[in-house]
Amino acid sequence: MRSPRVPRSILFVCLGNICRSPAAEIVFRHQVTAIGREHDFHIDSAGIIGHHHGSPPDPRMSEALQRRGFPVTGRARKIHSTDLQTFDLIVTMDETNFADVRGLDPGGSNHNKIRPFMSFCRRHSDPRVPDPYYGGQRGFDHVIDLLEDGCEGILAVTADG
């Protein structure tokens, strides 16, 4: 029997949906597939801005993901206020994303679904998943380190069947 408190549909959110959140979607899907649980989850990602709508992940992020063996898929889209009703869990990469997603639900009825990604990390204590867009390649590798940690944490809290 599925508990209503256990998240099964998960939306990862960042600013542009071409670096952090598509990578989180890819890493989490890879982890659940590795344990044969890919059919237990609906996994998606979205951006606060629609500027990159339809674009694949940033080439620098794609390169870093592929170097670690992650298959790169996905096209950017902008988050919609209905996503707060549709998804069980909405995971934001930084404080600004968190505030912006909360702002899509002024009544607050779905605020309990919105969680900072870093709250799921068990090995890293960084305050946020930093925006790598204007930095160098090492920033993308660090983002993936954080994503692997936090996605394992998300899986651990959703691993009861």
**Number of chain residues interacting with ligand 4NP (CB under 6 A):** 10
Contact flag: residue 14 with ligand 4NP (CB under 6 A): yes
Contact flag: residue 27 with ligand 4NP (CB under 6 A): no
Contact flag: residue 20 with ligand 4NP (CB under 6 A): yes
Contact flag: residue 25 with ligand 4NP (CB under 6 A): no
List 44, 58, 94, 131, catalytic entry: 131
Q: Closest distance between ligand 4NP and the C-beta of residue 158, in Å?
A: 23
Identify the sign of the CA torsion 16, 73, 82, 89.
negative
Q: Using an 8 Å Cβ cutoff, are 72 and 62 in contact? A: yes
Going by the DSSP 8-state scheme, the letter that residue 134 receives in this structure is T
Contact flag: residue 133 with ligand 4NP (CB under 6 A): yes
Among 10, 11, 18, 144, binds ligand 4NP (CB under 6 A): 18
In the residue annotation, 20 being an active-site residue is answered as yes
- State the Cα–Cα distance between residues 53 and 16, nearest whole angstrom: 9
Q: What token pair was written down for 34?
A: 């590795």
Residue whose CB is less far from ligand 4NP, 25 or 158: 25
Q: What token pair was written down for 54?
A: 């339809």
Going by the DSSP 8-state scheme, the letter that residue 76 receives in this structure is -
Q: What token pair was written down for 98?
A: 């968190």
Catalytic positions are 14, 20, 131
